[in-house]
Structure 1
Amino acid sequence: MSTSPAPCVAAIDIGGTKIAGGLVDPDGVLLHRIERPTKAKAPDPDEVFAAVAEVVAVLAEHEPWAGVTAVGVGSAGPVDIGLGTVSPVNIPAWRGFPVVARIRELPQVDGLPTVLGGDAVAMTAAEHWRGAARGYANAICLVVSTGVGAGLVLDGRVYPGPTGNAGHLGHITVDFEGEPCPCGSRGCLERVASGTAIASWALANGWRSPGGPDGAVDAAAVAESARAGDPVAVAAFDRAARALAAGIAATATLVELDVAVLGGGVLRAGELLLAPLRHHLTTYAALPFTQGLQVRAAELGTDAGLIGAAALALDPA
């Protein structure tokens, strides 16, 4: 007696360095994971998409693919979930690229429902479903990495906004006299609190990599120095934490939040960032209805993009 294949979702996570794919069951368990490098500098958009097609083709070779009921896609942005298009900053060939239509045309997908979300919104969906924001009705989840992205949970549901970019905290202004930002504004949170910004500010203020002239110049290297007590490195993380606290507190004042969840590569620094962030929140989250705001580290790590893409397709309450 034959049985129907167990249902699952195909998930795709598109970033500037890699394109990952996975099969996720209805409980949020990642069954398979693969990835391919993103040809981010390729001038031909089809050459970039070829990696997506390869990821889907490899996933389709696994037995659970027979139970796929939908495809969830999380992508670096900006995105437009209404049009099904993406314009990742780090993939110049993709401007208004119709990624949803192209994926649905793949023979393995053959028109299955395909749902798009921004990568930070996907991370938010994952952490609300299976991670550190689980059980909270109102949350902001941040990815602090090369840039700063974020997504919102309001009244128990992920809120992407009309185009899928709601909660784009990295591009609110936290410094009126701050540096120009590639987005066209000035003094954006991302220009203060991203891993790139932490390393740049530390360098400009006298920090030197613990590896010497040939050492790494990134947030991880600054964190290494901060753990050793380097005052400039410590100040770089405090500055980033203060900016994050201001942005989170402003959001909590607008929409009333229960928790802020932080993930991304910079969070490998742990309490070097989280401890001063909590401290600065006591200053910026001053109104009574913001004072109970909790700060938590994300729990799902590198799986968050795929689990979140699946969550967007399944839309678990």
Structure 2
Amino acid sequence: MTDQPVTVLGIDIGGTKMAAAIVAADGEILTKDRIATPPGDADQVFAALGELIARVKGDTEPAAVGIGSAGPLDQEHGLVSPVNIAGWRNFPLVDRVRALVGDVPVRLGVDGHCFALGEFWTGAGRDVGSLLGIVVSTGVGAGIVVDGRPLLGQSGNAAHLGHVVVDLDGEACACGSYGCVETYASGPRMVARAKRRGWRSTEDVDAAVLSADAAAGDEIALSVFDDGAQALAAGIVATAVTVDLTTVVIGGGVAKAGPVLFDPVQRWVKRLAQLPFVADLTVQPAQLDNAGLIGAARLGWDLLPAATPSESALR
């Protein structure tokens, strides 16, 4: 027997970074670390993840593991094929992690779902029953929590709000469709659109520069943010009227633009949300720096029997 408190290992995997943490029953991160996602083949990438897990875990024996990963993924079989990790295609992530950690329950989820779950558990949504969480960054990801549980869908890929079509005559999207929310609201697509309109067209700049110029009153930058906000609001309202929720939390790098993004999003949401049951739809910034990591751990906690100390943390 061990005197260690019951804990869960949370893992957050993306195209640019990998993070892991030991998380307590109340959502507190006890130890954590992160690394840049390395290049290389499947085994080289996983070897780096394995070293990260070993450092974070130390002598701890987590009772379960929750993994949030960029998708697409095959939740039933524990496979991942992240678009931005070329070495992983139908990679058996769940089995490989279980082999490292031991014979404990392991649950895999989309990183956007984990972001929403983290904010629901200990962040901006901790006082509500349901929410839509959105990450606006190099892409637009999302997750939905309904009555305290993540809405995963048949394949585990539900809530791909970034690929809701909001413009039938819109630009081509990387997913193969066109006019998706992501083509208007993601950081790189907003920068590209602004450059086509003459904003810093010869400079190597990113969405942070675009948001700074918008905050300073640059007309092109403001116009592009308004376009992105309108698309984002359309996706938000479409989701809200489908799922029947009123709380939206937005995080990610582009969300750091603050009022430059949130003011037009709120204005467009108010304009588009006309049905009575979404009239009080609210949009607010994320509160957590590690929402995806905490949400991944929550996936693990949800695997444990109610008799564990996690019971008080789960609604």
TM-score bracket relative to the smaller structure: over 0.9
**Residue pairs, 1:216-235, within 5 angstroms:** 216-235=204-223
Secondary structure of 2:20 counterpart = strand
Describe the superposition over 1:48-76 as per-residue Cα deviations: whole angstroms up to 9, x where unpaired.
Answer: 11111111111232x5x13x111111101
Asked if structure 1 preserves the Cα contact closer than 8 Å seen for 2:248 and 2:281, the reply is yes
Q: Which residue of 1 aligns with 2:283?
A: 295
C-alpha separation between the residues in 2 aligned to 1:305 and 1:260? 16
Q: Which residue of 1 aligns with 2:71?
A: 77
**Residue pairs, 1:1-317, within 5 angstroms:** 4-40=3-39, 42=40, 44-61=41-58, 63=59, 65-66=60-61, 68-106=62-100, 109-208=101-200, 216-301=204-289, 303-315=290-302, 316-317=314-315
C-alpha separation between the residues in 1 aligned to 2:107 and 2:214? 42
User: Displacement, 1:155?
Assistant: 2.6
Asked if structure 2 preserves the Cα contact closer than 8 Å seen for 1:285 and 1:291, the reply is yes
5+ long unaligned stretches in structure 1: none
Secondary structure of 2:33 counterpart = strand
User: Displacement, 1:120?
Assistant: 0.4
C-alpha separation between the residues in 2 aligned to 1:118 and 1:261? 17
C-alpha separation between the residues in 2 aligned to 1:128 and 1:208? 39
Describe the superposition over 1:111-159 as per-residue Cα deviations: whole angstroms up to 9, x where unpaired.
Answer: 2211111100011110010011112222110000000000011233221
Asked if structure 2 preserves the Cα contact closer than 8 Å seen for 1:140 and 1:259, the reply is yes
Asked if structure 1 preserves the Cα contact closer than 8 Å seen for 2:9 and 2:57, the reply is no
C-alpha separation between the residues in 2 aligned to 1:282 and 1:88? 35
Describe the superposition over 1:36-57 as per-residue Cα deviations: whole angstroms up to 9, x where unpaired.
Answer: 22124x2x21111111111111
C-alpha separation between the residues in 2 aligned to 1:153 and 1:305? 14
5+ long unaligned stretches in structure 2: 303-313
User: Displacement, 1:100?
Assistant: 0.1
Instruction: Give the fraction of aligned pairs with identical amino acids, expressed as a percent.
Output: 48
Asked if structure 2 preserves the Cα contact closer than 8 Å seen for 1:11 and 1:310, the reply is yes
Asked if structure 2 preserves the Cα contact closer than 8 Å seen for 1:85 and 1:96, the reply is yes
Secondary structure of 1:71 counterpart = strand
Instruction: Read off the aligned partner of 1:69 and give its amino acid letter.
Output: A
Asked if structure 1 preserves the Cα contact closer than 8 Å seen for 2:106 and 2:300, the reply is yes
Normalised by the size of structure 1, how large is the TM-score?
0.93
User: Displacement, 1:164?
Assistant: 1.6
Asked if structure 2 preserves the Cα contact closer than 8 Å seen for 1:142 and 1:151, the reply is yes
Secondary structure of 1:305 counterpart = helix
Asked if structure 1 preserves the Cα contact closer than 8 Å seen for 2:135 and 2:141, the reply is yes
User: Displacement, 1:257?
Assistant: 1.0
Distance change (3 Å), C-alpha of 1:274 and 1:25? same
Q: Number of aligned pairs?
A: 304
Aligned residues: CA RMSD: 1.4
C-alpha separation between the residues in 1 aligned to 2:33 and 2:130? 32
User: Displacement, 1:92?
Assistant: 1.6
User: Displacement, 1:3?
Assistant: 6.5
Which structure has more relative contact order (CA 8 Å, sep 6+)? It is 2
C-alpha separation between the residues in 1 aligned to 2:36 and 2:283? 33
Describe the superposition over 1:15-56 as per-residue Cα deviations: whole angstroms up to 9, x where unpaired.
Answer: 10111111111110011111122124x2x2111111111111
